[in-house]
Copies of this chain bind each other. A is one copy, B any other.
Amino acid sequence: MKRYEHYAQDIARLIKAQTLRPGDRLPSVRQASTSRQISPATVFAAYYLLEAQGLIEARARSGYYVKTQAQPLQAEPSTAPPGTDATPVNISDLVFEVLESTRQPDVVPLGSAFPSPALFPLDKLARCLTPAMRRLEPERMVEDLTQGNERLRRLICLRYASHGTTLAMDEVVITNGAMEALNLCLQAVTQPGDVVAVESPTFYSALQALERLKLRAVEVATHPRDGIDLASLEAVLQAHPVKACWFMPNFQNPLGSLMPEPRKQALVQLLAEHQVPLIEDDVYGELYFGLNRPPPAKAYDHHGLVLHCSSFSKCLAPGYRVGWVAAGRFARQVQRLKLMTTLSSAIPSQLAITDYLQGGQFERHLRQLRLSLAQQQEVALKVIAAHFPPGTRVTRPQGGYFLWLELPPQVDALVLQRRALAEHISIAPGHLFSADRRFCHCLRLNYGQLADARFEDALKRVGELACELLSG
């Protein structure tokens, strides 16, 4: 395939996935040429091809725009407004029950929180391990403790700088995955009994962390496409003594919502006005299907109030347990908490990833990973349209690997989860994603799987089971 065809294909994919929507303006020739590092002629050739395919149209003196298509699509879910009370959390037992039941190897893991490890360059990473550790002088073994390997922290900061986000080297602490980072941040900014604002629906690990630390959750209305509703957040900030927010502005789990940039900026500003720290979970930020990496909220932080957490677990190295936190004005507290709780992250993992990043193949792997995920999303949406009950609503996220389904209200997702598991298919019922169990007819489905019949058949079967539940 020629270079311009490649680019045209990428754009076509974005249109098909509704990442680019009818009326959206395509990047200018100059922008596209710069960001893709291709010649302007190649960009033109791609746009001519797309025009010929009827996907885009030129408008005089203005550029290229996505044409309006006449394709039927399933409805997206709407915002489900949460109650207004701050509630103690008690969902751990259910989460453990569901998670433990879905970890068996013969189960198709549609309910899993992890993409298939087969999507990652595990062999290349493994090859980095021994040479990286053999080069380490023994005395350095102790020096790298707690804050993490300096070379790795530098590479992480450079990566953020390349997409316009400034992190200071000395605010970054390497952690045992993002999970530890998030937990340390929560401990750094709260005391037992405090109120923490979370999205609605929320990632169950956030709820578990609140439960463990005896914090109270207040849920903020969250739009399935555009994320946190700022008016709702403002109301929550006025009604409750909120000590921190735990949000995922990029590809929220489970919704997949992506906050538009102006909204992210307004979020950071609103929280700065209230002097409320934002714990930002950005583990899916690299898994975008669009043309550019969506900036994290941290990019707009001028007050050191954003505690930005991420990891390599979802984009490069599952099982290596290397995450990080850039905790702004809370950096020292987070570092001390890390020292007191787990001392340090594993050095072999840190060094292997450092070497891999310096080897220069990370970008290529990410492009391939994003393409695989985007393609699997298309497959999943087709199967859902064909086999799930009429009235099913489904998200169309622009990144990540989760779909959020709203089934007809008569379907109890926990019953569906149990029936599916009996047929060796796991799903994540909506019950897991809220302290007040408002999402009992919703599901999170993981499409971060290999493209094979096993995945499609399992998904189809879940749809059939949902139809059976409705008719039975």
| Chain A residues proximal to chain B, CB less than 8 Å | 92, 96, 99, 103, 105, 109, 112, 114, 116-118, 120, 122-123, 125-131, 133-134, 136, 138-139, 141-145, 176-177, 179-180, 183, 187, 192, 205, 208-209, 212, 214, 318-322, 336-337, 339-349, 352
Contact = CB atoms under 8 A, between A and B. Distances in A.
A133 B141 contact: no
A-B pairs with the 8 shortest C-beta distances? A126-B133, A346-B346, A129-B129, A117-B138, A319-B347, A130-B130, A117-B141, A176-B342
Copies in the complex: 2
Nearest to A129: B129
A130 B139 contact: no
A265 B318 CA distance: 43
B114 A125 contact: no
Given A342-B321, A349-B349, A114 B129 contact: no
Chain A interface helix/strand/loop/mixed:
helix
Interface centre among A99, A103, A346 (most CB of B within 10 A): A346
Interface centre among A136, A143, A321, A348 (most CB of B within 10 A): A348
A321 to B, nearest CB: 4
Contacts of A177: 342-344
A331 to B, nearest CB: 14
A260 to B, nearest CB: 31
A202 to B, nearest CB: 14
B117 A122 contact: no
A438 B20 CA distance: 68
Nearest to A346: B346
A340 B126 contact: no
B341 A180 contact: yes
B341 A320 contact: no
Given A114-B142, A141-B319, A176 B130 contact: no
A279 to B, nearest CB: 15
B342 A212 contact: no
B320 A103 contact: no
A180 B176 CA distance: 11
Interface centre among A136, A143, A176, A208 (most CB of B within 10 A): A176
Nearest to A137: B117
B336 A321 contact: no
A122 B139 CA distance: 11
Contacts of A187: 212
Nearest to A175: B342
A343 B175 CA distance: 12
Contacts of A318: 141-142
Contacts of A339: 96, 99
Contacts of A319: 141-142, 144-145, 344, 346-348
Contact of A320 (B114, B125, B336, B348): B348
Contact of A336 (B96, B103, B214, B347): B96
Given A103-B145, A130-B131, A180-B343, 9 more contacts: A92-B340, A103-B142, A116-B138, A122-B133, A126-B129, A126-B130, A180-B342, A321-B342, A349-B349
Contacts of A340: 92, 179, 183, 205, 208-209, 212
Given A126-B134, A133-B126, A138-B117, A346 B343 contact: no
Contact of A138 (B122, B130, B345): B122
A348 B339 CA distance: 22
A105 B180 contact: no
A139 B127 contact: no
